[in-house]
Amino acid sequence: MREYFHTVVWIATKDLRLLFRQPTSFLSTLMFCLLLVFIFGLTLNLVAVNTTQLLPAILWIILLLAAVLGMSHTFTHEKDNSCIQALCMAVTERSSIFLGKGLANLMFLLVIKVMIIPILFLFFDLQATINPLVLCLTLFFGGLGLACLGTLFNTLLINPGGLLIPILLFPIAIPLLISVIELTKVALGVSTQVHPWLLLMILFNLIFIVLAIVLYDYVLEV
Amino acid sequence: MLLLIFLSLLVLTNLALIGFYAPVEQTMGIVQKIFYYHLSSAWLGMVAFVVVFGASICFLRTRNIKWTIIALASAELGTIFTTLVLITGRLWARSIWNTWWTWDPRLMTTLVMWFMYLAYILLHHSGMVEEQTSRIAAIYGIISFVNVPLVFFSIRWWRSLHPVLITTSSSGLSSEMLITLLVSLFTFLVLYVTLMRIRVRILTLQQQILSISHRRRRG
* Residue A34 domain boundaries: 2-219
Q: How far is CA A197 from the centre of its chain?
A: 18
At residue B171, does pLDDT exceed 50? yes
Angle at A106 between CA A101 and CA A107, to 5 degrees: 100
Please tell me the predicted confidence (pLDDT) of residue A205: 92
Of B119, B128, B139, the CB nearest to A219: B139
At residue A1, does pLDDT exceed 70? yes
Residues of A whose CB is below 8 A from B138: 218
Q: Is there a contact between A171 and B60 if contact means CB atoms under 8 Å apart?
A: no
Of B115, B132, B142, the CB nearest to A215: B142
Q: Tell me the nearest-neighbour CA distance from B152 into chain A, angstroms.
A: 13
Percent of chain A's residues with pLDDT above 70: 98
Of A172, A196, A221, the CB nearest to B135: A221
Could you tell me which of A211, A136, A212, A146 has the C-alpha nearest to residue A177?
A146
Q: Which residue of A has its CA nearest to B150?
A: A175
The model's confidence at residue B204, banded by pLDDT at 50, 70 and 90, is very high
Could you tell me which of A67, A73, A141, A69 has the C-alpha nearest to residue A101?
A73
Q: Tell me the nearest-neighbour CA distance from B155 into chain A, angstroms.
A: 13
Torsions phi, psi for B29 (to 5 deg): 80, -155
Q: Tell me the nearest-neighbour CA distance from A23 into chain B, angstroms.
A: 31
- For A143-174, how does the pLDDT look when each residue is reduced to its tens digit (9 = 90+)? 999 999 999 998 888 776 678 889 999 988 88
At residue A38, does pLDDT exceed 60? yes
- For A109-144, how does the pLDDT look when each residue is reduced to its tens digit (9 = 90+)? 999 999 999 998 888 887 778 888 999 999 999 999
Structural domains in chain A (count): 1
Q: Write down the mean pLDDT value for chain B.
A: 83
Please tell me the predicted confidence (pLDDT) of residue B196: 93
- For A206-217, how does the pLDDT look when each residue is reduced to its tens digit (9 = 90+)? 999 999 999 888
Domain segments of chain B as ranges: 37-160+172-218
At residue B71, does pLDDT exceed 90? yes
Q: Is there a contact between B112 and A196 if contact means CB atoms under 8 Å apart?
A: no
Please tell me the predicted confidence (pLDDT) of residue A207: 92
Alpha-carbon span A108 to A100, nearest angstrom: 12
Residues of B whose CB is below 8 A from A215: 139, 142-143
ipTM for the predicted complex comes to 0.87
Residue A142 CA: distances (Å) to CA of A30, A137, B110, B163: 18, 8, 23, 31
Could you tell me which of A150, A134, A142, A152 has the C-alpha nearest to residue A110?
A142
Please tell me the predicted confidence (pLDDT) of residue B48: 92
At residue A28, does pLDDT exceed 60? yes
Q: Tell me the nearest-neighbour CA distance from B183 into chain A, angstroms.
A: 33
Angle at A60 between CA A59 and CA A66, to 5 degrees: 95
pTM comes to 0.86
